[in-house]
Amino acid sequence: MSEQQQKLIDLIADMNEEEAIKLANSMLDSGYDPMKLLEHCRAGMDVVGKRFESGEYFLPELMLAGEMLTEISKKAKPLIQESQTGGAASTKGTVIIGTVHGDLHDIGKNIVTFMLDINGYKVIDLGIDVPVDTFIDSIKEHKPSVVGLSGFLTLAFDSMKETIEAIKAAGLRDDIKIMIGGGQVDDTIRDYTGADAFGLNAMSAVSLCSGWIKAAA
């Protein structure tokens, strides 16, 4: 790995926002392969994710690192599309996400959507107060690998349970993994709702998806 590549990774990992974006831009300007560049950004993001998991970083660092990635992608992605004829924009898999009906909270869901997106997943965000049927229709249409149900209020646990039962009744349950998150979720709630897993933060949503989708591949 060249010194420049390592420097970009370090700048992202150490939260040097301005310098990271400046270096990425100058690398792209001098003809650096945009696909490779995004790979380095992912590597930087991985370091941030690890520091988050080890308790060295917190939510603001995750979001700021995500923002760096978004900024750099804005410049890199059109270059990739110019230079390649399709196939480049491959995603790791599709995730449908939404806040279950009866609950209008969206901050946590938006962060999870953002984190999954910058980690290479195609995310379909159904919004808040999502009726059971909307989840079913969307699963039929997009055939996701993972469905994420979000909710902050305690009444959301019932809506999650109802949504998962309806997915089962529609014969779609076996093809997907379901994760829940939002408020005070734990293994008891997971069991109550019938979900496969629960997540306490946006990084755990990313880890769950990567575990499941790798295992299926």
Partner 1 sequence: MSIPNLAIIGDRINPGFKATRTMIEQRDFKGIQDLAKRQVQTGAIYLDVTIGPKGYEDYGLLSEVIQSIQAAVDTPLCFDYPHKNVLEACLKTYDPAKAGGRRPLINSLAETRWEIMDLMDIQPFNVILMASERLDEGAAKPNKRCEDVHKTAKRSAERLVKEHGLELNDIYIDVTVSTLVSDTEGLVRMALDAIESIGLDPDLKGIHIVGGLTNIGNMLPPVEFDGMKLRHVMESAFLTVAVPYGFDTVLGTPWNEFRMLPEDHVVLQTFREVIDLKGLDAMRRLRKLWANK
The whole-angstrom separation of Cα 175 and Cα 95 is: 13
The whole-angstrom separation of Cα 115 and Cα 15 is: 16
Comparing CB distances to partner 1, the nearer of 63 and 88 is: 63
What is the distance, to the nearest Å, from the Cα of residue 155 to the centroid of all Cα atoms in its chain? 25
Neighbours of 81 (CB within 10 A): 13
Under the binding rule (CB under 8 A), the answer on residue 158 touching partner 1 is yes
Buried b / exposed e over 149-182, threshold 16 CB at 10 Å, is bbbbbeebbbbbbbbbebbeeeebbeebbbbbbb
Map the footprint of partner 1 across residues 127-146, applying CB under 8 A.
128-129
| Residue of 42, 192, 196, 210 interacting with partner 1 (CB under 8 A) | 192
H-helix or E-strand containing 95?
A: strand 94-99
Comparing CB distances to partner 1, the nearer of 120 and 183 is: 183
Under the binding rule (CB under 8 A), the answer on residue 157 touching partner 1 is yes
Under the binding rule (CB under 8 A), the answer on residue 106 touching partner 1 is yes
Q: What x-and-dash track marks residues 37-66 binding partner 1 by CB under 8 A?
A: ------------------x--xxxx-xx--
H-helix or E-strand containing 88?
A: none
Residues comprising the chain, all counted? 217
Map the footprint of partner 1 across residues 63-102, applying CB under 8 A.
63-64, 67, 102
CB of 155 to partner 1, least distance (A): 5
Number of residues counted as binding partner 1 (CB under 8 A): 28
Instruction: Kindly indicate which of the ranges 3-11, 86-94, 147-155, 164-172 contains the residues binding partner 1, using the contact rule CB under 8 A.
Output: 147-155
Amino acid identity of 134?
T
Footprint on this chain of partner 1 (rule: CB under 8 A): 15, 55, 58-61, 63-64, 67, 102, 104-108, 111, 128-129, 153-155, 157-158, 184, 188-189, 192, 201
